């Protein structure tokens, strides 16, 4: 879960490399480094810490080079310290490498690399010493890269800068990598947005692709299979993304949702009609997602079952438990914001005979190119680590499919949602959200309770409080309270309750059980209830009722993080796109 970028061209590439790597910081922010050629020498500048601080430490804005590679890291092997920061150089300082992924057999490779001095604890460093050995044996840069690609196992994307050849060579197998083509300039990156200010022409690299380029030309080929490499032109306006007047990207992305929901008013249902045909012919529908996508999938499976489908939400790692009972008529509805989630991509090989529907936010991603039907989330770029607009867009999509399954192609209540969206966060609600976020900032533990279809919303709310504000938040299905969790409730317990209109009667009894044991209950509902100690009103949005609730939890998590002095865009130990095991 690291970000890599590279440039070779006619002008000084350092400024664009630095700007581009900042655009990849969501992929990892433990450390940062750059390798570049200047005056026939290869230089590496790197350290652990934030990109801006390291740029200032080395006065990188004053550097000049026509060729360089850079890396921002999310640690897998080795602590977040200087010696484990990328790039890594070979013993003779002729090559430097940056790497995204995991080399599963690196220990075996390391044992076979004789006479080398390793300076890090990482798996990635073996790559540069392999290149050193293989070119010493007489292999060309391309031949050596092919050999490396054939010998390492696991998911990887990597790039070498070669002083000897005055070239950059990069390869992809499992982890994302794109190649950008500019005017007298060429680029590599882990994603398109980091390069969109410099080019809108890209080749989306396939597994097994190797691209070799200098300032004059490039050559790309695949070592595994025959691939037609097409140059695709990307609409820059749809990719370019600025923070505007907001303090953090998470805050911007929370409020972006109002505009996104508005865009669904006149939705083109062509893709949805195709999806409907596939779902209605399915023996069983497996909905697969990780993290927030999984909790959205739980909600989707619930309403699909209400519509008469045999639907089941599972996390990708669970698929191995189902492989022996899968049938050809089973359909897979696969959800991934990035379209590059390793757990998701790695299961596709087991689903060759099954129809696959992808709900993806990043078009041209690995998932979008591997499914039979793609539903674009159209949530726009999401830079903060926590899923916000992609989460509500996923739930919204499931509700539209549900509406069509029950023969409602107008997906009624969309007007109710759109008319009510500006009433979700009025001054009175803002005051309560601020008050509750202050309470949350002083607690280490909270329980979030809900029933039936509200329970996935409780799971998502708990996840947001965990990942953004570092609170031990536990979601509990109210139906299970008497089967153990009630033992945790004391007079010091803080409890949040999600109660939709259809669950009020059953929830009332459960909340009374909590209140009688001294629990302080913060209710999120369209209606106030006697059991609530504090009540945050949410708007009536009909079948779209989950969206305002999810919005409020996102906002509570964000405001709590700010009160605790936490950067909500970059929570500790997490990265946006999970491209490793």
Q: Based on the fold, state whether residues 471 and 547 are members of the same structural domain.
A: yes
Per-residue b/e over 76-97, b at no fewer than 16 CB within 10 Å? bebebeebbbbbbbbeeebbbb
Output the domain CATH number for residue 115: 3.60.20.10
Q: Do 521 and 404 lie in a common domain?
A: no
| CB-based contact 579:362 (threshold 8 Å) | no
So what's the pLDDT on residue 577? 62
Specify if 384 maps to a domain: yes
Beta bridge partners, 70, equal 5, 34
- The answer as to whether 343 is a domain residue is yes
Residue 419 in domain = no
Task: State how far the Cα of 377 lies from the Cα of 359, in Å rounded to an integer.
Answer: 6
- For the cut 60, the answer to whether the pLDDT of residue 31 exceeds it is yes
2 is an active site residue: yes
User: Which residue segment(s) compose the domain that 323 sits in?
Assistant: 244-412
Report the pLDDT value the prediction gives residue 85, as an integer from 0 to 100. Answer: 95
| 396 domain-assigned | yes
Helix (H), strand (E) counts: the chain: 15, 24
Q: Is the pLDDT of residue 145 over 90?
A: yes
pLDDT in tens, 338-377: 888 778 888 888 888 899 999 999 888 888 888 999 999 9
Q: What digits encode the pLDDT tens for the residues 364-411? A: 888 888 899 999 999 988 889 999 999 999 999 999 999 999 998 888
In 3-state terms, the chain is what percent helix, strand and coil (to 5)? 40, 25, 40
Note whether 134 and 97 are same-domain residues. Answer: yes
Angle at 405 between CA 402 and CA 408, to 5 degrees: 85
pLDDT digits 0-9 by tens, 461-482: 999 999 999 999 999 999 999 8
| Whether pLDDT at 3 is above 90 | yes
My answer on whether 91 and 201 are in the same domain is yes
The reply to whether 58 and 201 lie within a common domain is: yes
Of 2, 167, 356, 464, catalytic: 2
Instruction: Note the pLDDT of residue 447.
Output: 97
Residue 35 has pLDDT above 80, yes or no: yes
How many domains does the chain contain in total?
3
Both 10 and 149 in one domain: the answer is: yes
Supply the CATH number for residue 513's domain.
3.40.50.10490
| Final residue belonging to a domain, choices 412, 435, 457 | 412
- Residue 511 forms part of a structural domain: yes
Question: Is 417 a member of any domain?
Answer: no
- Ramachandran angles phi, psi of 529, nearest 5°: -130, 150
Whole-number Å distance between alpha carbons of 456 and 460: 6
Final residue in a domain of this structure, among 412, 447, 466: 412
Q: What is the DSSP string of 338-357?
A: SS--HHHHTTGGGGTTSEEE
Question: What percentage of the chain has pLDDT greater than the value 90?
Answer: 82
Q: Both 216 and 326 in a single domain?
A: no
Does the residue 418 lie in any domain?
no
Domain end: 238, 271, 294, which one? 238
Q: Using 50, 70 and 90 to split pLDDT, how confident is the model at 294?
A: very high
**Residues 434 and 406 both lie in one domain:** no
My answer on whether 69 and 150 are in the same domain is yes
Neighbours of 264 (CB within 10 A): 18
Q: pLDDT for 205-236, tens place per residue?
A: 999 999 999 999 999 999 998 889 999 998 87
Q: Report the DSSP beta bridge partners of residue 36.
A: 43, 68
> Does residue 400 sit in the same domain as residue 440?
no
Q: What is the pTM of this model?
A: 0.87
Where is pLDDT greater, at 249 or 366? 249
349, part of any domain? yes
Q: Are residues 368 and 225 in the same domain?
A: no
Q: In this structure, are 550 and 431 located in the same domain? A: yes
pLDDT per residue as tens digits for the range 516-570: 999 999 999 999 999 999 999 999 999 999 999 999 999 999 999 999 999 999 9
Instruction: Single out the catalytic residue among 146, 167, 464, 576.
Output: 576
Mean per-residue pLDDT over the chain, rounded: 93
Question: CB count, 10 Å around CB of 53?
Answer: 11
Please give the Cα distance from 295 to 259 (Å, whole number). 23
């Amino acid at each position: 879960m690291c970000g890599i970028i590279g440039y070779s061209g006619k002008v000084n590439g350092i400024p664009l490399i630095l700007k581009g790597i900042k655009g990849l910081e969501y992929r990892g922010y433990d450390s940062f480094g750059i390798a570049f050629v200047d005056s026939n020498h290869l230089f590496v500048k790197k350290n652990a810490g934030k990109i801006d601080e390291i740029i200032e430490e080395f006065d990188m804005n004053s550097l000049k080079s026509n060729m360089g590679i850079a890396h921002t890291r999310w640690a897998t092997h080795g602590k977040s310290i200087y010696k484990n920061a990328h790039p890594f150089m070979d013993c003779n300082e002729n090559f430097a490498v940056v790497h995204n992924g995991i080399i599963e057999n690196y220990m075996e490779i390391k044992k076979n690399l004789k006479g080398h001095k390793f300076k890090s604890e990482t798996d990635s460093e073996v790559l540069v010493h392999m290149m050193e050995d293989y070119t010493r044996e007489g292999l060309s840069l391309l031949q050596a890269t092919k050999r490396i690609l054939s010998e390492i196992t696991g998911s990887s994307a990597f790039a070498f800068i070669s002083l000897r050849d005055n070239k950059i060579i990069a390869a992809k197998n499992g982890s994302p990598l794109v190649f950008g083509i500019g005017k007298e300039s060429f680029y590599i990156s882990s994603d398109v947005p980091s390069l969109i200010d410099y080019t809108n022409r890209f080749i989306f690299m396939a597994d097994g692709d190797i691209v070799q380029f200098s300032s004059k030309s490039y050559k790309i080929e695949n070592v595994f299979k025959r691939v037609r490499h097409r140059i695709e032109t990307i609409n820059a306006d749809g990719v370019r993304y600025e923070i505007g007047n907001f303090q953090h990207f998470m805050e911007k992305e929370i409020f972006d949702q109002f505009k996104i929901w508005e865009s669904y008013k006149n939705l083109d249902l062509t893709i949805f009609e195709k999806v409907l045909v596939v779902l209605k012919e399915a023996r069983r529908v497996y909905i697969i997602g990780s993290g927030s996508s999984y909790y959205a999938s739980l909600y989707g499976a619930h309403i699909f079952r209400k519509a008469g489908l045999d639907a089941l939400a599972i996390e990708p790692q669970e698929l191995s438990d189902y492989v022996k009972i899968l049938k050809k008529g089973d359909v897979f509805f696969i959800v991934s914001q990035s379209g590059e989630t390793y757990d998701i991509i790695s299961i596709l090989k087991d689903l060759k005979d099954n129809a696959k529907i992808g709900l993806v936010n990043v078009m041209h991603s690995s998932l979008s190119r591997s499914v039979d039907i793609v539903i674009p989330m159209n949530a726009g770029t999401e830079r903060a680590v926590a899923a916000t607009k992609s989460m509500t867009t996923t739930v919204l999509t499931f509700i539209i499919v549900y509406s069509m399954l029950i023969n409602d192609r107008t997906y009624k209540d969309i007007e109710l949602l759109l008319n009510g969206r500006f009433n979700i966060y009025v001054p009175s609600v803002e005051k309560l959200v601020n008050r509750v976020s202050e309470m949350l900032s002083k607690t280490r533990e909270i329980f979030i309770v809900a029933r039936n279809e509200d329970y996935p919303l409780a799971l998502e709310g708990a996840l947001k409080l965990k990942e953004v504000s570092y609170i031990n938040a536990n979601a509990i299905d109210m139906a299970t309270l008497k089967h153990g969790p009630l033992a945790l409730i004391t007079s010091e317990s803080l409890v949040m309750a999600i109660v939709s209109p259809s669950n009020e009667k059953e929830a009332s009894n459960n909340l009374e059980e909590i209140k009688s044991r001294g629990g302080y209950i913060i209710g999120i509902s369209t209606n106030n209830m006697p059991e609530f100690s504090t009540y945050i009103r949410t708007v009536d949005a009909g079948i779209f009722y989950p969206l305002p609730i999810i919005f409020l939890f996102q906002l509570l998590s964000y405001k709590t993080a700010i009160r605790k002095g936490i950067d909500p865009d970059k929570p500790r130990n997490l990265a946006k796109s999970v491209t490793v095991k």
